Homo-oligomer: A and B are copies of this chain.
Amino acid sequence: MSIRSQLLKGILDGCILSVIADESVYGYELSKKLQQVGLSDVSEGTIYPVLLRLQKNGMIKGEMRPSASGPNRKYYDITEQGEEALEIIQEEWDLLVGPVSQLLQGGETP
């Protein structure tokens, strides 16, 4: 397993919520978008379980829509609950990044 995948743990939900909050997307599209953004090794086998879990927890809603070129797509939209959760994740992320980056940059511990 790559180290990258370990680092992803726990942040992936936030990333996916964030993309969905910005616009309606379906899973396959989402995986391409995350790869474009720089999260290059997030595969479908990882994304679909996350989407199902987020839906089960009421963070997002899924809706099947036909596609003009290919199989049906399941578009997801964020819920109110999902928006609240996303805000908390954003705050927690900001609180975490500072200390961790400073530690890893070899900053002396006081």
Contact = CB atoms under 8 A, between A and B. Distances in A.
Interface of A: 3-11, 13-15, 18-19, 21-23, 33, 36-39, 88-90, 92-93, 95-106, 108-110
Contacts of A97: 97, 101
Contact of A10 (B9, B95, B101): B9
A20 to B, nearest CB: 10
Q: Which of A8, A92, A106 has the most CB of B within 10 A?
A: A92
Nearest to A7: B10
Q: Which of A10, A14, A23, A98 has the most chain B CB within a 10 Å cutoff?
A: A10
Contacts of A99: 37-39
Nearest to A110: B36
Contact of A109 (B4, B19, B95, B96): B19
